């Protein structure tokens, strides 16, 4: 454009006629108006370019410029609109936040009221009615009738309860008969030699329940139905080792714990199929499928079976020769409640077998499941029923004031503050186990809800030791476990907790 302006100026100069004065061209050029300073030249150039744009601009370029101007105006308008709406949006957000906080507060208040009511109910029905017995001794028979590597969790169950008895209950090995195959610790597939871990095996932070303090009375092929019944009735062969005998008196509270489950946590569809097969075929077919336990019998190492009638007969003999005061019979297996020794099918007269209470991890037609597996071990390491019971006890003990100093005394006091029914039934609902807990205390002079757990899991010979080590216990209801179970019922029940 600047070149064009110069050319136009030159053409105008050339177009003027030559004067007749005879002056030279240099003089004529000197009379022309100068171009001016640089500022004047720039002004001239800008005016020329703007006139050019106005005159020669193409329509597409003009439309694009118009669009840009329109966008700028709309952006300014939207910005003004957003400025106007900002206070309203802030007010709405604040209103929503306040309403949400109010809802959360109301829900928390309602939940707190429900928990307070449940604690009051539990305190009235459990804490105030706990009545320790007048027995003088305690004893336990712990049996895992499984063998082989794939039954890792069965041994873990028994040894977990064994550690609770010795750590929190102050039991001595003289009062415990332990029957396990003892082939898991030295198995070639065990990555932790001489160790059995119910949890945290892979991280190395778990505690092995198998250690140098474990005293096994019957191991390997000695774990038989005959030896189990001989321990109960006290009729041993001549020359039997005294450590394999159990000295029971009329003032002894006895715990009998049988473990042999069949079902790992398979998909529920497969479990449902197995239940359909069991319903459509005989009980023998179902048992051969699971291979562990079935209706009214309990297998020992896949070679022989302990029938419910055998348990009932053994307990009746013990009653006649006065070898117990009260018996807590616990079974953790598939269809465990069918082993109930006070079942009317095997015991028409309940008076013939007094003070025998039964707790089972599953009802008839139900399976007992594993809790979790360990990737390093490659097997399920503990069952749900035993694991949740032990974890509940530990959680209660951790709430004691001196649990960090003396865990054994804290466990003892926790077992004094919880009933047998709460610990073994109410605190283990179906949503945790996958099965319903069966229980009965028919024929017992004391209901299970009034018996402290320490009457069975704490050795009364060491009560003075625990009392001397005791410190102020928790007040109120911090340690109460809650459920919606009917405390007045003595039948097999399905318990679902308050949540």
Nearest to 342 by CA among 456, 428, 439: 439
Q: State whether the Cα torsion 259-262-267-269 is positive or negative.
A: negative
The owner of tokens 């009802």 is: 363
d(CA 245, CA 234): 7
Q: Which of 135, 154, 263, 292 is catalytic?
A: 292
Contacts of 431 by beta carbon, 8 Å cutoff, 6+ apart: 496, 497
Our answer to whether residue 334 is catalytic in this structure is yes
Quickly list H helices, 417-477. Answer: 420-421, 430-433, 454-457, 463-469
Check if 271 is active-site: no
Sign, CA dihedral 208-212-218-219, equals positive
CB 341 within 8 A of CB 329: yes
- Which two three-digit tokens encode residue 230? 């001989």
Select which of 334, 444, 485, 495 is catalytic: 334
- Angle at the Cα of 289 from the Cα atoms of 287 and 294, rounded to 5 degrees: 20
Neighbours of 357 (CB within 10 A): 26
Distance in angstroms (rounded) separating the CA atoms of residues 146 and 220: 10
How, if at all, do strands 438-440 and 356-360 pair? antiparallel
Catalytic residues: 292, 334
């Amino acid at each position: 454009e600047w070149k064009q302006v110069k050319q136009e100026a030159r053409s105008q100069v050339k177009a003027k006629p030559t004067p007749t004065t005879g002056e030279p061209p240099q003089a004529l050029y000197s009379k022309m108006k100068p171009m001016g300073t640089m500022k004047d030249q720039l002004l001239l150039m800008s005016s020329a370019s703007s006139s050019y744009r106005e005159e020669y601009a193409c329509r597409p370029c003009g439309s694009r410029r118009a669009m840009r101007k329109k966008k700028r105006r709309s952006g300014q308008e939207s910005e003004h609109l957003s400025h106007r709406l900002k206070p309203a949006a802030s007010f709405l957000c604040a209103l929503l936040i306040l309403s949400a906080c109010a809802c959360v507060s109301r829900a928390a208040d309602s939940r707190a009221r429900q928990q307070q009511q449940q604690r009051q109910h539990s305190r009235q029905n459990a804490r105030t009615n706990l009545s320790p017995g007048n027995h003088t001794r305690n004893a336990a028979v712990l049996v895992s009738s499984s063998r082989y590597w794939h039954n890792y969790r069965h041994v873990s169950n028994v040894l977990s309860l064994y550690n609770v008895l010795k750590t929190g209950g102050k039991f001595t090995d003289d009062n415990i008969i332990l029957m396990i195959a003892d082939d898991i610790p030295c198995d070639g597939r065990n990555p932790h030699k001489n160790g059995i871990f119910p949890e945290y095996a892979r991280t190395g932070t778990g505690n092995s329940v198998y250690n140098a303090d474990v005293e096994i009375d019957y191991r390997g092929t000695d774990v038989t139905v005959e030896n189990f019944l001989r321990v109960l009735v006290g009729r041993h062969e001549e020359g039997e080792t005294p450590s394999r005998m159990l000295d029971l008196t009329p003032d002894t509270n006895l715990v009998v714990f049988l473990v042999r489950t069949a079902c790992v946590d398979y998909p529920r569809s497969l479990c449902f199929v197995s239940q359909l097969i069991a319903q459509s075929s005989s009980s023998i077919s179902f048992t051969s499928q699971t291979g562990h336990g079935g209706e009214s019998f309990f297998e020992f190492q896949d070679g022989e079976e302990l029938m419910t009638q055998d348990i009932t007969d053994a307990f009746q003999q013990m009653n006649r020769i006065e070898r117990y005061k009260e018996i807590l019979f616990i079974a953790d297996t598939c269809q465990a409640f069918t082993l109930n020794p006070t079942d009317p099918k095997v015991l028409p007269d309940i008076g013939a077998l007094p003070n025998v209470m039964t707790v089972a991890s599953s009802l008839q037609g139900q399976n007992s499941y594993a809790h979790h597996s360990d990737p390093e071990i490659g097997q399920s390491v503990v069952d749900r029923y035993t694991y949740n019971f032990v974890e509940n006890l530990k959680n209660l003990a951790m709430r004691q004031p001196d649990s960090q100093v003396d865990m054994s005394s804290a466990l003892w006091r926790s077992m004094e503050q919880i009933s047998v029914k709460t610990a073994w039934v109410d605190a283990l609902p179906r949503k945790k186990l996958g099965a319903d807990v069966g229980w009965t205390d028919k024929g017992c002079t004391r209901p299970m809800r009034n018996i402290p757990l320490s009457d069975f899991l704490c050795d009364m010979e060491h009560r003075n030791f625990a009392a001397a080590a005791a410190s102020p216990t928790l007040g109120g209801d911090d340690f109460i476990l809650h459920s919606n179970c009917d405390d007045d019922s003595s039948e097999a029940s399905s318990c679902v907790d308050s949540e």
